[in-house]
Amino acid sequence: MKHNLFALGLISILTGLADPQASLAQDLSASYTVNPVSPSDASPAAAAIKSRIEAWGYGDVKDLSRDRTGVWHAHVIRNEVEIAVSVDKGGRITAPSANKQLAARCSQLYGIASHYVSGGAGAEGSLGSNMGVIDAGLDCQKSRYDEGIKALEKILNGQRISHPPG
């Protein structure tokens, strides 16, 4: 009987160790799986998280989901730029800093201006240079986002080129 118990214990240990990586990978991936919340399945908790995000000044909350650790994730619009935010169990919202948002906006406007305004880098059919676009691009590169954004919006509005509002 002693030998049977020993053999049974040895077999169970060996079968458990046969593929330890697979069970470990399963455990790790399961903890970070994200469960999207559809509008029809929106729970009171999802509605509360969405209203909390909106109360902090973020608009157009979409792709609201909750991972297995209880952290909520969503895509929102802030300063006319889509960003990802998360809300932890304590209700704290984590989002990219304002500088990253402004940098993204500056880059977005510079891309439009450099493509369509005569003289910008890569502009279509232009021979002259538009120093305003270049100067605004340099402002963006030097982290002077407000100046760069204002200059680019003024240039785009003056040329009647549509761009996302800011």
Q: Is 149 helix (H, G, I), strand (E, B) or coil?
A: helix
- The count of domains in the chain is 2
Q: What's the pLDDT score for residue 26?
A: 41
Q: Judge whether residue 129 has pLDDT over 50.
A: no
Residues 138, 121 within the same domain: yes
Angle at 162 between CA 113 and CA 125, to 5 degrees: 45
Task: Pick the last residue of a domain from 65, 94, 123.
Answer: 94
Show the tokens assigned to 36: 């999207």
Domain, as residue range, for 64:
32-94
- Does a structural domain hold residue 38? yes
Q: pTM to 2 decimals?
A: 0.44
DSSP 135: H
Show the tokens assigned to 156: 């785009």
Residues 106, 127 within the same domain: yes
Whole-number mean pLDDT of the chain? 74
Higher pLDDT: 132 or 2? It is 132
- Does a structural domain hold residue 19? no
Q: Judge whether residue 24 has pLDDT over 50.
A: no
Task: Pick the last residue of a domain from 56, 77, 94.
Answer: 94
Task: Pick the last residue of a domain from 94, 111, 141.
Answer: 94
- Does a structural domain hold residue 113? yes
Q: What's the pLDDT score for residue 73?
A: 92
Q: Is 117 helix (H, G, I), strand (E, B) or coil?
A: coil
Q: What's the pLDDT score for residue 123?
A: 52
Residues 69, 115 within the same domain: no
68-77: long-range pairs with CB below 8 Å, 24+: 68/30, 68/31, 68/32, 68/33, 68/35, 69/31, 69/32, 72/46, 73/34, 74/49, 74/50
